[in-house]
Chains A and B, each alone.
Chain A
Amino acid sequence: MNTRYETVIGLEVHVQLTTATKIFCGCSTAFGQAPNSQTCPVCLGLPGALPVLNREVVNAAIKAGLATNCRIAPYSIFARKNYFYPDLPKGYQISQFELPICEHGWLDIGGEEFAAKRVGITRIHMEEDAGKLLHGSSAGSLVDLNRACTPLLEVVSEPDMRSAAEAIAYLKQLHQIVVYLGVCDGNMEEGSFRCDANVSVRPVGQVELGTRAELKNLNSFRFIKQAIDFEVERQIELIEDGGKVIQETRLFDPDAGVTRSMRGKEQAHDYRYFPDPDLLPLEVSDVWIDEVRAALPELPGQKRQRYEEALGLPAYDAAVLAAERPVAEYFDALVVLHKNPKLCSNWVMGEVLGAVKENDVAIVDCPVTPTLLAGILKRIEDNTISGKMAKTVFTTIWQSGKSADEVIAEKGLKQVSDSGALDAIIDEVIAANPTEVAEYQGGKDKLMGFFVGQVMKASKGKANPGLVNQLLKERLSA
């Protein structure tokens, strides 16, 4: 990377909302239905059909705005964005231009590769999606308008990011937030969370921004990073060779790992925005905003902070547990039942996440519920079972749904913590291994592990390892 240049990145994210119906009509938004089966005169743009705003879309916009520290506008309006394309039946997209619903927000990002910083959010506005174009084997292009009029939030950032790593950190955080809020399913492959990146470079120290390219077709975090890295290199090389960056839209080609100019879209966009006379202005009262605020879930950033500060967990644990809302909710339920946060965290991050992944089930459907897991942890802490034995108990509960105490009793897994019983086993082990005993007493301390292993084996794993260690030390040093 050439250090004489600074990269400047601004991001536009389209968040597809999880409402049951479209933004301006009652057609279903379900994905993957037969082409054009979910259409009506409104979303087909037939003459005389009138759009009516879905109130739930406004709720989603207010939620997203509050969660990203935006000011919610008391008064906002819809506008027509005029252009021709076969996937846009009306010849205009209903969007917001002047007076969007949310403005002046921010997100704080942090990461290993850069210093923590605040990224500004210029605005969030509501708009309708276009239809889908299919370029199959037929002579023409095919148009499916099921997606037309599907509700989107467009989240526009300030050009505050200086590297692909910062851009990814911002996007991951925004992604986490909208998924936590339940306003978006977050599926990037299906296009529920789409990102365009405005990328430019400038000599270090220059105040004015360089000419930017707008990168499209970035449908995974990995592609976004690849596209930005490629584009930065391309622009720097171009400038170094005496060329000039032109403002244009460039498509990322994931197979080749390059961005390519989109020919044919070079003419300057002139969308001739004007207020849509079909839609009344939107007024959002303080009461409405307060209602939405009161119903907001605890957000990932707040959870991380609580896990670290109130529960004393390491930052790594907090980040893993808070990353997905169902995981965080499982952990929250568990830690209420068993008040040892670090033990809870270890088990959720280890056994629980491992098992749900291996068995391909959602954590909400995990057969070992927080209540059942709390039963296991209780028996670890009171030394009824060893941590190792607890894993067997976990697996058995996964299959049977029984409680930890039932499994321990049925399988006879109760740990032997009675020193009398252990003494007998230790006697046998010492008698059976005279060579090792001599070597140990001759200074080969590493053999302690061997003795513990022999005792554990003889007790069929039921001996309390801590106690075994202690007793062995006493006996062998005698």
Chain B
Amino acid sequence: MKISEQDVAYVAGLARLSLTPEELKTMTGKMDAMLGYVDKLNELDTDAIVPTAHAVPMANAFRGDQVIPSSGSAAALANAPQGTDGCFQVPRVIE
């Protein structure tokens, strides 16, 4: 598998990262090396192996449907750069 600069630019766009042309070049080399390593796995025959969904061999961790007191809006907004009327304020988004 060969990673192109286009691939990296696309993924960077999805992650809202802006890369300089030099960064794009460096990242492309690094990602290609990483994925090249993962590519080694393709040498194994995994047809009969069930995909691993979780690293821990366990299932079914539940909680009951019991209300636990919330932290409240003051705590929620404590670290917000901007807040108005108990709400987080963000740059205007129009649907």
Give the B-binding residues of A (Cβ under 8 A): 19-21, 25-28, 34-41, 44, 52-56, 58, 75, 77, 82, 84-86, 99, 133-135, 138-145, 251, 262, 264, 270, 272, 275, 277, 279-283
User: Considering only CB atoms, which chain B residue lies closest to A55 in the complex?
Assistant: B62
Give complex CA distance A86, B89 in Å: 9
Q: Which of B45-95 contact A (CB under 8 A)?
A: 53-56, 58-68, 70-73, 76-77, 82, 84-95
Q: Cα distance A143–B77 when bound, in Å?
A: 11
Known contacts A52-B63, A54-B62, A141-B91; A27/B70 CB under 8 A: yes
B16 within 8 A of A: yes
With both beta carbons as reference points, the residue of chain A lying nearest to B88 in the complex is identified as A143
- 5 closest cross-chain pairs (CB), A and B: A26-B68, A142-B87, A36-B73, A56-B65, A55-B62
Q: Which residues of B contact A (CB under 8 A)?
A: 14, 16, 53-56, 58-68, 70-73, 76-77, 82, 84-95
Does B86 contact A282, Cβ atoms closer than 8 Å? no
A362 to B56, CA, bound (A): 50
Q: Are A140 and B92 in contact (CB under 8 A)?
A: yes
CB nearest to A17 among chain B residues: B65
Contact status B88-A26, CB under 8 Å: no
| Closest-CB distance, A465 to chain B (whole angstroms) | 57
Contacts of A140 in B (CB 8 A): 82, 84, 89-92
Query: What are 24 A-B interface contacts by the 8 Å CB criterion?
Result: A19-B65, A21-B65, A21-B68, A26-B66, A27-B70, A36-B72, A36-B77, A36-B88, A37-B72, A37-B73, A39-B76, A40-B71, A52-B63, A55-B63, A85-B93, A86-B93, A138-B84, A141-B89, A142-B84, A142-B89, A277-B54, A280-B56, A281-B59, A282-B60
User: Could you tell me the distance in whole angstroms from the C-beta of A72 to the nearest C-beta in chain B?
Assistant: 14
Q: CB distance B90 to A53 under 8 Å? A: no
From known contacts A141-B90, A277-B55, infer whether A53 and B61 are also in contact, taking CB-CB under 8 Å: yes
Residues of B within 8 A of A135 (CB): 92-94
Task: Using CB atoms, name the residue of chain B closest to A288.
Answer: B60
Question: How many angstroms from the CA of A25 to the CA of B70 in the assembled complex?
Answer: 9
Q: Is the CB of A26 within 8 A of B63?
A: yes
Q: Are B76 and A145 in contact (CB under 8 A)?
A: yes
CB pair B91–A275 under 8 Å, yes or no, is no
Nearest neighbor of A144 in chain B, beta-carbon distance: B87
Q: Could you say which residues of chain A place their CB within 8 Å of the CB of B64? A: 54-56
Q: How far is the CB of B88 from chain A (nearest CB, A)?
A: 4
Residues of B within 8 A of A270 (CB): 14
On chain B, the residues within 8 Å of A34 by CB distance are 73, 86
Per the bound structure, the CA–CA distance linking A198 and B86 in Å amounts to: 36
Complex-state Cα separation, A451 to B18, whole angstroms:
94
With A and B bound together, what is the CA distance between A21 and B90 in angstroms? 27
